[in-house]
Structure 1
Amino acid sequence: MGKILSFGELLLRICPDAEGRWIKENNLPFYIGGAELNVATALSIWGMPSAYMTALPKNAMTEQLVDYIDDLGIDHSAIQYQGERVGLYYLHKGKDLKNSSVIYDRKYSSFSTLKTGEINWEEVFKDVSWFHFSAICPAVSLAAAEVCEEALKEASARNITISIDLNYRALLWKYGKEPVSVLPALAKYCHLIMGNIWAAETMFGIPVPEGLREKDNYLEQAEKTSRIIQENFPACKAVANTFRFDEQGGVKYYSTLFTEGTLHVSKQYFAEKIVDKVGSGDCYMAGLIYGFYQGKSPVETLAFATAAAFTKLFVASDATNLKPAELIEKATKYEN
């Protein structure tokens, strides 16, 4: 088996406190992340042959960022050095990326200005057997969307397994196209599709009935959505859906995996307090890749991915720092 290559924009997450103390204290915490780097980080920590591709400007700060990636044990040989800036976003600590308080500063970043015809895919895909990206990539710019399609065609031609996370970031789709007009053309290449029933509605136009409330109805809809995805995209062999709810008194989490005509449902987890919501879905995606890459059963893969995602909620950074045995042990304490 070859490398697992994750493709997406490296971001710096700036975390001002909601009260504004950072101004008086001259203290503005930040984290290095980005959805695909979070996936690559988890996979490397779990002992997988993880690689990462992004675009960065050539300067002193980039050298430090690449050193950071190198220290994580991630192969960064596919990074493209071009453009002038690293993407940023601002989010109050503890908030979710779907929260209205998120502020993006990614316009004209090196990644957003990537162009087709300029990347040596033969070199990029050397020794790669799995290619992962997310729906955030084509949301950044039309040029990035076109590069995504180019990458998928090249990966598909080399029989590389392809996965996508249907991350929806409403504030990013600003170049005149809606997700539903872009994502289907990319998803047709994908063998593993992960997201949730609402993301599938936004990106694929698969309707979710109004008034859907009870867990059993969520599970029924997860199976319906998954079946439609596989009907529409025949290359897709597995569809995963996550369910995380901020309820009074805590956070509830569970997920499903539909493959070979069967819907598998994970254990349910519950915690009264968590630390950081960012990166939980990325950790789940990494868990799926971890399982499928090693040939584990759907049940084993689902269990690990769900535990990985839930335990990420207790880690104060964009990516997990927990080894497989640690996260499984920790998750067990929160089974509901």
Structure 2
Amino acid sequence: MLSKNYKQGAVLSFGELLLRLSPDAGGQWLADSALPVFVGGAEFNVASALALWDVPSKYFTALPKNGLSEELAGYVNSRGIDTSKIFYGDGRMGLYFLTQGKDLKNDALIYDRANSAFAELKPGMVDWDSVLEGVSWFHFTAICPAISQQTADVCLEVLQAASAKSITISVDLNYRAKLWQYGKQPQEVMPGLVEYCDVVMGNIWAAEMMLGIEVYGDIHESGQKSIYLKEALSSSERLIEKFPKCKAVANTFRFDGRGTINYYAALYADGGFYSSKEHTADSIVSKVGSGDCFMAGLINGFYHNDAPQQVLEFATAAAFTKLFVASDATTNTIEDITNAITNGQ
């Protein structure tokens, strides 16, 4: 069961703080000598949403020791996030480039993260007992172990420390093909980390790619919601059988085509299966951070011990409304998201 008194502690998000440089597709940024910059990173986006929704939110990352890092830490802190556990070490700031309007899985994505302060973290460098003090929920993503074997080892180290303290652990199965370049495939790394997790979020294809939970049948082009949901139930049941510590599995579905965006999700929790209402739109502003907002919505719901259907509807609406926000992290309040559920946006 996920029900517990999480309010005795904070949610700690673990991951790399990045700067997103976002040129327009036509090259106007060159003529204007102006390149839009956003503070990003999947885990920061989660921490930011939770802080906005008044959930005690802490953030662990590693930054280089310089003035730019001080400004960034101040910015993060100004969003209501506890930055006291940030690790300052050697290396540089991680960057990524993404053309405006494009998806993180698109060819328009370019990473520049080699030798960053976060990538330079090694097992034994951080006092995890100190970092995890006052924490009741720990969140990370599959992006971190995709960086290098060394970073994957750091992930394992902190997961073991959090598990030993009976801290609830969640993971987002973000798949970034451009990061898995160090000779290991996700299925060689992720199962050993997911075995510590209580909540797993992603989609049926990510579970197949990273955990070996096969997608049965030729459903990829079906377009039928009932078939996708049936597969989500099957995938969730098999995932929990494979990873007994896991108590909840969430799957999101976003389909872009023929001029509309369709978004819905499913949640398997404590033996029950739930599906959300479907949200649609003719156009969106940005796809960046939508999944992170869904993850934050899940954590928010479980943190407050909401009923599973309520948890799912809020997380789905949070993710959908994020599609209309230009920055990496959502700016939508609890009221904004609740209105989206009520009004059927």
Q: Output the TM-score relative to the length of structure 1.
A: 0.98
| Structure 1 vs Structure 2 CA RMSD | 0.9
Q: 3-state SS of the aligned residue for 1:81? A: strand
Following the alignment from structure 1 to structure 2, what is the Cα–Cα distance between the partners of residues 99 and 50? 30
Tell me which residue corresponds to 2:271.
Answer: 261
1:288 pairs with 284, 294, 298, which one? 298
Q: CA deviation at 1:248?
A: 0.7
Select between 81-90 and 164-173 the one with higher mean Cα deviation.
81-90
Tell me which residue corresponds to 1:127.
Answer: 134
2:97 is the alignment partner of 1:87: no
Q: Deviations over 1:163-199 (max 9, x none)?
A: 0000000000011000011000000000000000000
Tell me which residue corresponds to 1:321.
Answer: 331
User: Is the 2:204–2:231 contact (alpha carbons within 8 Å) kept by the matching residues of 1?
Assistant: yes
Following the alignment from structure 2 to structure 1, what is the Cα–Cα distance between the partners of residues 207 and 121? 27
Tell me which residue corresponds to 1:103.
Answer: 110
Following the alignment from structure 1 to structure 2, what is the Cα–Cα distance between the partners of residues 237 and 76? 29
Tell me which residue corresponds to 1:225.
Answer: 235
> Counterparts in 2 of 1:156-305, with a 5 A limit?
156-212=163-219, 213=222, 214-305=224-315
Following the alignment from structure 2 to structure 1, what is the Cα–Cα distance between the partners of residues 259 and 218? 23
> Counterparts in 2 of 1:15-94, with a 5 A limit?
15-94=22-101
User: Is the 1:43–1:50 contact (alpha carbons within 8 Å) kept by the matching residues of 2?
Assistant: yes
Equivalent AA in structure 2 for residue 62 of structure 1: S
Tell me which residue corresponds to 1:13.
Answer: 20
User: Is the 1:3–1:50 contact (alpha carbons within 8 Å) kept by the matching residues of 2?
Assistant: yes
User: Is the 1:14–1:28 contact (alpha carbons within 8 Å) kept by the matching residues of 2?
Assistant: yes
Q: CA deviation at 1:58?
A: 0.5
Following the alignment from structure 1 to structure 2, what is the Cα–Cα distance between the partners of residues 113 and 96? 27
Following the alignment from structure 2 to structure 1, what is the Cα–Cα distance between the partners of residues 102 and 17? 20
Q: 3-state SS of the aligned residue for 1:182? A: helix
Following the alignment from structure 1 to structure 2, what is the Cα–Cα distance between the partners of residues 55 and 275? 30
- Taking a change above 3 Å as real, the CA distance of residues 333 and 99 of structure 1, as seen in their structure-2 partners, is farther
Select between 211-220 and 186-195 the one with higher mean Cα deviation.
211-220
Following the alignment from structure 1 to structure 2, what is the Cα–Cα distance between the partners of residues 179 and 270? 32
Q: CA deviation at 1:122?
A: 1.1
1:138 pairs with 127, 140, 145, which one? 145
Identity of aligned residues (%): 55
Q: CA deviation at 1:216?
A: 1.1
Following the alignment from structure 2 to structure 1, what is the Cα–Cα distance between the partners of residues 109 and 20? 10
Q: 3-state SS of the aligned residue for 1:264? A: strand
Equivalent AA in structure 2 for residue 35 of structure 1: A
Following the alignment from structure 1 to structure 2, what is the Cα–Cα distance between the partners of residues 186 and 84? 26
Following the alignment from structure 1 to structure 2, what is the Cα–Cα distance between the partners of residues 56 and 243? 34
User: Is the 1:271–1:334 contact (alpha carbons within 8 Å) kept by the matching residues of 2?
Assistant: no
User: Is the 2:322–2:330 contact (alpha carbons within 8 Å) kept by the matching residues of 1?
Assistant: yes
User: Is the 1:241–1:255 contact (alpha carbons within 8 Å) kept by the matching residues of 2?
Assistant: yes
Tell me which residue corresponds to 2:5.
Answer: none
The gaps in structure 1 that reach 5 residues or longer are: none
Q: How many residues align?
A: 335
Following the alignment from structure 1 to structure 2, what is the Cα–Cα distance between the partners of residues 79 and 244? 34
Equivalent AA in structure 1 for residue 225 of structure 2: K
The gaps in structure 2 that reach 5 residues or longer are: 1-7
User: Is the 2:314–2:341 contact (alpha carbons within 8 Å) kept by the matching residues of 1?
Assistant: no
Q: Output the TM-score relative to the length of structure 2.
A: 0.96
Q: Deviations over 1:8-46 (max 9, x none)?
A: 000101001111111111010010010000000000000
